Amino acid sequence: MTIILGIETSCDETAAAVVMDGRVIASNIVASQIDLHAKYGGVFPELASRAHVEAISGVVEQAVQDAGVGYDKLDAIAVTRGPGLVGSLLVGVNYAKGLALATGKPLLGINHLEGHVYSLWLSEPQREIRFPVLVLIVSGGHTELLLMEDHGKYERLGGTLDDAAGEAFDKVGRMLGLPFPGGPNIERAAQMGNAAVYHFPRSKRDESYDFSFSGLKTAVMREVTVSQPNQPGKKRSPEKNPKLRSDVSVNDAAASFQDALVGALVEKTVRAAKAYHATEILLAGGVSANQMLRQRMRAESELPVRYPPLNLCTDNGAMIAAAGHYRYEAGLRSDLEMDVTPMWPLTSTSYE
Ligand code: KG4
Ligand code: ZN
């Protein structure tokens, strides 16, 4: 059995967890910075890295203590190496390097997206997952459609050409005057709204497996915000500084937007799963917390659809430890010179 410590600081959660055998969570600590960033309507990078510095040692200590194992029992220390905000990533990576040096345990640099994929291995520890599976990762920074053929083996089928799905939720949330982050607040508003009131386009209805959400975002902006005249010397930015029209129903607009975005995700994911003979569809990332996405995917696919419990949809250390387990088992190790990789697409890891 392996015991792996996972550390995650790529964006706005300082998180650490201990995971047994890549599937059973022994502890899982998340210090969220949502309140810190809420007043800026988005993640403010300098504040994020400072908050990580303040929180990291307490969060990691707590995770190891809650697991009741002690550093000497760990097999390895897994840490998010990228993609993400450079200043935030550095806090976790430097802390993990220090721990690895102090304890003599191996270091494993993990791709954050691979972490999201492995959140599915944590949700039902007893269940066998048969490859190939179709994975849709939808978060604040990413929208990726992948065929996973084995542990560490990914074929990228498509992804967003512009905004990530969560980013679109957050931007539209801001236009509608909802608090940050937009996703859960739009979902709540949409439950009280009527999706048939506004007709927003479901963009990129083509043969590809790519997505595009900027057209949808612009359509919502045109419909719900007041157009303000350009001021000389000032860039007009209704996304950052929106003025909501007084006759707009926020709930109906939220429901109509969510319907269009979820529709696009479901249509292409279901088609890809069929075309590539996947055994099931796995949803991961912050947006996979969305109930409408879960329901529609299940209703429109003949295959089983799995998603993590809500606390494992958003960023956490357990998913990083779980991804670390499979790398550790494959004999992969990172050296202490390892640098952060703020841009890092998820491609196959060689598990020879
Ligand atoms: O995975 P995550 O915690 O961080 C990234 O790696 O980006 O995802 C955060 C994103 C945010 O954009 C947030 O608005 C979105 O996930 N989100 C949701 C929901 N809960 C979180 N979007 C739609 N519906 C939700 N219930
Ligand atoms: Zn994430």
CA of residue 181 to ligand 1 center, whole Å: 7
Cα-Cα-Cα-Cα dihedral sign, residues 166, 170, 175, 176: positive
CA 29 / ligand 2 centre spacing (Å): 15
175 and 229 part of one domain: yes
Residues 221 and 329 in one domain: no
Length of the chain: 352
Nearest-CA residue for atom 22 of ligand 1: 183
| Ligand located closest to 287 CA | 1
Q: Please count the structural domains in the chain.
A: 2
Q: Which of 175, 194, 117, 188 is nearest to 150 (CA)?
A: 117
Amino acid at 326: Y
Cα of 289 to ligand 1 centre, how many Å? 7
Closest ligand, as measured to the CA of 142: 1
pLDDT at 227: 73
Same domain, yes or no, for 345 and 240?
Answer: no
Per the structure, the complete domain to which residue 240 belongs is given by: 133-307
Of 89, 138, 170, nearest to 264 by C-alpha is 138
The candidate with the shortest Cα–Cα distance to 319, out of 33, 4, 2, is 4
For ligand 1, which residues put their CB under 6 angstroms from it?
A: 11, 139-141, 166, 169-170, 181-184, 187, 285-287, 289-290, 314-315
Q: How far apart are CA 343 and CA 19, in angstroms?
A: 26
Q: Give dist(CA 37, CA 41) in Å, integer.
A: 6
Pair (137, 259) in one structural domain: yes
Q: How far is the CA of 30 from the centre of ligand 2 (A)?
A: 13
Do 26 and 45 fall into the same domain?
yes
Both tokens of 234, joined, read 């000032």
CA of 342 to the centre of ligand 2 (A): 13
Q: Which atom of ligand 1 is nearest to the CA of 116?
A: 1
Q: Is 84 left (phi over 0), alpha (psi -120 to 50) or beta?
A: left
Q: What is the pTM of this model?
A: 0.94
Please report, for residues 13, 61, 110, 157, 322, the alpha-carbon distance to residue 9 in angstroms, rounded to integers and kept in the order given.
6, 15, 12, 27, 16
pLDDT in tens, the chain (352 residues): 999 999 999 998 999 999 999 999 999 999 988 888 887 777 888 888 999 999 999 999 999 999 999 999 999 999 999 999 999 999 999 999 999 999 999 999 999 999 999 999 998 888 999 999 999 999 999 999 999 999 999 999 999 999 999 999 999 999 999 998 999 999 999 999 999 999 998 878 899 999 999 999 999 999 999 976 666 666 655 556 678 999 999 999 999 999 999 999 999 999 999 999 999 999 999 999 999 999 999 999 999 999 999 999 999 999 999 999 999 999 999 999 999 999 999 988 766 5
Mutate to test the pocket of ligand 1, among 114, 187, 314 (most ligand atoms within 8 A of CB): 314
Q: Residue 116 Cα, ligand 2 centroid: separation in angstroms?
A: 6
Ligand nearest to the CA of 13: 1
Q: Looking at the structure, do residues 71 and 33 belong to the same domain, yes or no?
A: yes
Q: Is 150 left (phi over 0), alpha (psi -120 to 50) or beta?
A: beta
Q: DSSP labels for 290-315? A: -HHHHHHHHHH-SS-EE---HHHHS-
278 and 335 share one domain: no
**Are 332 and 279 in the same domain?**
no
CATH at residue 75: 3.30.420.40
Cα-to-centroid distance, 93 and ligand 1 (Å): 23
Of 139, 167, 293, the residue with max ligand 1 atoms within 8 A of its CB, to mutate for a pocket test, comes to 139
Mark whether 202 and 107 lie in a shared domain: no
| Same structural domain, 214 and 338 | no
What span, in angstroms and rounded, lies between the C-alpha atoms of 253 and 309? 27
Residues 292, 169, single domain; the answer is yes
Same-domain check for residues 200 and 115: no
**Closest C-alpha residue for ligand 1 atom 14:** 183
Beta-carbon neighbours within 5 Å of ion ligand 2: 139, 315
Within 8 A by CB and 6+ apart from 107, the residues are 76, 77, 79, 96, 97, 100, 333, 334, 335, 336, 338
Q: Which atom of ligand 1 sits closest to the CA of residue 10?
A: 6
Give residue 180's identity as a one-letter amino acid code: F
